[in-house]
Chain A
Amino acid sequence: MSLDRPLTRNVRPDRTPTDLAAYEANGGYQGLRRALGKLVPAECLQIIKDSNLRGRGGAGFPTGMKWSFVPMENASPGHKYLVCNADEMEPGTFKDRLLLECDPHQLIEGMILAAYTIQADIAYIFIRAEYHLAAQLLREAIAACNAKGYLGENILGSDYSLTMHVHTSAGRYICGEETALINSLEGKRATPRAKPPFPQVSGLWGRPTIVNNVETLCNIPHIIERGADWFQALGLTADAGTKMYGVSGRVKNPGCWELPMGTPIREILMEYAGGMEDGYQLRGFLPGGGSTDFLTPEHLDLAMDYDTIGKAGSRMGTGTMIILDDKTCPVGFVTNLMEFFARESCGFCTPCRDGLPWSAQVLNDIEQGRGLPEDLHTLARQVTFIGAIGNTHCALAPGAMEPLASGLKYFREDFERHISGGHCPWCDGGVN
């Protein structure tokens, strides 16, 4: 049986982009025609709610519920905004790039439908500075849509109008956090905002704003066109739809594939990623980007979905796995991630601004063979205090603690060997 792969049906093996004509020829903009002709916004919202679509940006928040918080009455006239989060910078994550570069119109159609549902009149695509090709393709696609009447005044003859802009960023991982992103769109430093108020009520310029991930929005046209039941049935487990799964590290065939939600980890790793490179053994993996907890080979038969991975003590996050092999030092692995998060801290709150560099320094000392036995205690305390949600202003710092906490749990003897031996067992072998 061939798999239904709505998100990647226009993705070509050589990654050449799908233009407007090709997108339309393959059924593109049918969801938009259906919605603008026949469905009122409340009906669109109900379909998305019924579909059980959850946000693909990392947290898995139900999309329909998020949209339902946007005030719909005309009590406060003014702009409403839809923002696509195309900042993709989570270490080990490379799924949105594929969707952006290969099928920009799918995202744009999803954004028009999302904007219509919440009755936004302005939409932004916030894209990281380094995605030059994607930004160019999106600008061209928006121009083509403006010319064709899919964007602009009175879309397809309806009374709905929408303006869409591409905003290219200027760096910094924290811009991906949705309230930091909103500050950045306002031209400010990207420090996260306090919540509440939530952006759905008071976001960009104090107006109702929805921020969604690229992959989340790419699902919308298909759900509107083919219905909630169809979407639910795509998933193998309780979670609906397909998912862009990825594997990187020492595997034979690193890559990104659209598979049914809930595909077993073993299948993704062995069949799609081709298993480990010759001469390398699997020791562990981060299931969904750099700020998720390690899982180990004993977890391979779990279904890759939000609830299952959550119950196993990690998070599905972005769904792109990073593989730790036996020739890579686990302490070095965690140190690299901690240095990343320390560098990317926005500096707004003390536990993160001062705590993450401290963790990175302790880890680095251990990796360099200068560690002391009490360092493990220090790291454990940092995990407790910096890792607790609520002790920091945003989720960057708790996320940074996840690979450390689980690394200490699963690879403790490796940390201890660094300390007792006074050197990194991997570095001395000349491998790392």
Chain B
Amino acid sequence: MQSPLIPNLSDQEISAIDNEIAHAPCRAAVAIDALKIVQSHRGWVSDASLQAIARHLHMSAAELDGIATFYNLIFRRPVGEQVILLCNSITCWIKGASQIQQQISARLHIGLGETSADNQYTLLPVTCLGACDRAPVMLVGEQLHTHLDDAALELIFRSREEAEE
């Protein structure tokens, strides 16, 4: 029976999830894919989305939440339009990731784990991004930015601001 409180997944979301189920041995096997699919459409995974996915995969919402909260790139809270994943692992740290973080924080008025007031950006730390030869680095959305310094940050954020205008 469908609870009226649980929203429906969109047709697009369902067909993408069902594509994954097609080559999986059981529905629950695609839990992580399904969470990522819904997140790609809605930005994050709300309680209501979680319940809708769980219902579609024939699992309990609690079990699915145990999975969702394990993975740092499944967002169980709203995030900004763009998520900044700033590497703070060893080589980036040596090359000044802490100063880069301070610069970003001062510019966007957010700390790690926070979203800017205009809802444009969420700033998160991330494990070594595998670009240590070009440290310090960060991902903004899917775009990798390397060799970060004050001038590079200025360029990145200015061009993004201009693109919006």
Residues of A within 8 A of B (CB): 88-94, 96-97, 128-132, 163, 165, 167-173, 184, 186-190, 205, 246-250, 254-256, 290, 320, 322-323, 325, 328, 332-333, 336-337, 340, 344, 346
Query: B143 to chain A: closest CB distance in Å?
Result: 9
Listed stretches B6-14, B71-79, B103-111; interface member? B71-79
| Most chain B beta carbons < 10 A, residue from A92, A130, A169 | A130
The answer to whether B32 touches A187 (Cβ under 8 A) is: yes
Chain A residue with Cβ nearest B67: A189
Query: Which residues of chain B are within 8 angstroms of A130 by Cβ–Cβ distance?
Result: 85, 126, 129-130, 139
The answer to whether B94 touches A249 (Cβ under 8 A) is: yes
Q: How far is the CA of A186 from the CA of B130 in the complex (A)?
A: 25
Q: Which of B28, B36, B73, B132 is the one whose CB lies under 8 Å from A92?
A: B132
Chain A residue with Cβ nearest B88: A336
The answer to whether A336 touches B32 (Cβ under 8 A) is: no
Given A170-B73, A336-B90: A97 and B131 interface contact (C-beta under 8 Å): yes
Q: Which of B23, B33, B70 is the one whose CB lies under 8 Å from A190?
A: B70
A-B contact pairs, 15 of them (CB 8 A): A90-B128, A91-B89, A91-B90, A92-B91, A92-B132, A94-B132, A130-B85, A167-B33, A171-B71, A190-B71, A205-B25, A247-B133, A248-B91, A322-B132, A337-B90
Query: Which residues of chain A are within 8 angstroms of B85 by Cβ–Cβ distance?
Result: 130
The answer to whether A92 touches B66 (Cβ under 8 A) is: no
Given A172-B72, A333-B90, A340-B89: A92 and B32 interface contact (C-beta under 8 Å): no
The answer to whether A186 touches B128 (Cβ under 8 A) is: no
Given A170-B74, A187-B67: A328 and B36 interface contact (C-beta under 8 Å): no
The answer to whether A170 touches B32 (Cβ under 8 A) is: yes
The answer to whether B139 touches A91 (Cβ under 8 A) is: no
Q: Restricting to B47-92, which residues have a CB under 8 Å from any CB of A?
A: 66-67, 70-74, 85, 88-91
The answer to whether B72 touches A290 (Cβ under 8 A) is: no
Task: Confirm or deny: B148 has a beta carbon within 8 angstroms of a beta carbon on chain A.
Answer: no
Residues of B within 8 A of A (CB): 23-25, 28-33, 35-36, 66-67, 70-74, 85, 88-91, 93-95, 126-135, 139, 142
Q: How far is the CA of A188 from the CA of B88 in the complex (A)?
A: 27
Query: B5 to chain A: closest CB distance in Å?
Result: 25
Query: Which residues of chain A are within 8 angstroms of B90 by Cβ–Cβ distance?
Result: 91-92, 290, 322, 333, 336-337, 340
Given A170-B32, A188-B67: A336 and B93 interface contact (C-beta under 8 Å): yes
Given A91-B89, A187-B28, A290-B89: A96 and B130 interface contact (C-beta under 8 Å): yes
User: What 16 additional pairs, Cβ within 8 angstroms, besides A170-B72, A171-B74, A248-B132?
Assistant: A91-B128, A92-B91, A169-B32, A170-B74, A173-B127, A184-B32, A187-B28, A187-B33, A188-B31, A249-B91, A250-B94, A250-B95, A254-B133, A290-B128, A320-B132, A333-B90
Q: Which of B66, B93, B142 is the one whose CB lies under 8 Å from A189?
A: B66
Total inter-chain residue pairs, C-beta < 8 Å: 122
Given A93-B130, A340-B127: A322 and B70 interface contact (C-beta under 8 Å): no
Query: Which residues of chain B are within 8 angstroms of A88 by Cβ–Cβ distance?
Result: 130
Q: How far is the CA of A173 from the CA of B129 in the complex (A)?
A: 11
- 9 smallest CB-CB distances across A and B, nearest first, come from A248-B132, A170-B71, A171-B73, A187-B31, A171-B72, A254-B133, A248-B91, A132-B142, A189-B70
The answer to whether A170 touches B36 (Cβ under 8 A) is: yes
Chain B residue with Cβ nearest A188: B67
Query: A336 to chain B: closest CB distance in Å?
Result: 5
Q: Which of A90, A172, A328, A340 is the one whose CB lies under 8 Å from B94?
A: A328
The answer to whether B32 touches A322 (Cβ under 8 A) is: no
Query: Which residues of chain A are within 8 angstroms of B29 by Cβ–Cβ distance?
Result: 186-187
Chain A residue with Cβ nearest B132: A248
Q: How far is the CA of A344 from the CA of B85 in the complex (A)?
A: 16
Query: Which residues of chain A are within 8 angstroms of B31 by Cβ–Cβ distance?
Result: 187-188
Given A165-B23, A172-B70: A248 and B135 interface contact (C-beta under 8 Å): yes
Query: A353 to chain B: closest CB distance in Å?
Result: 13
